Amino acid sequence: MLEHFFQCPHCWEEISMLLDPSVSTSYIEDCEVCCNPIQIITGFRDGELENFRAESIQQ
């Protein structure tokens, strides 16, 4: 697992999450600070993080 730090697109707090480098994926997870939903999009190549996006989901 790879720990990745980023800013929440809702509250701008720095948060982290564990990413599985064997899988590129897209999913929704709540911010651990403000509890708003974030769409997480990851892309890996040869076990290296190549693409990461954290986008707000409008409620």
**Domains of the chain: which residue ranges?**
2-56
The percent of residues above 90 in pLDDT, for the chain, comes to: 88
Q: What's the whole-number mean pLDDT along residues 23-39? A: 94
User: Do 1 and 18 form a contact (C-beta atoms < 8 A)?
Assistant: yes
What does the alpha-carbon distance between residue 40 and residue 30 come to, in Å, rounded to a whole number? Answer: 10
Please state the length of the chain: 59
Torsion angle of the four alpha carbons 6, 12, 34, 16, in this order, in degrees rounded to the nearest 10: 10
What pLDDT sits at residue 59? Answer: 63
pTM: 0.84
What pLDDT sits at residue 58? Answer: 76
What does the alpha-carbon distance between residue 23 and residue 56 come to, in Å, rounded to a whole number? Answer: 22
What does the alpha-carbon distance between residue 44 and residue 20 come to, in Å, rounded to a whole number? Answer: 9
- Of the pLDDT bands very low, low, confident and very high (cuts 50, 70, 90), residue 37 is very high
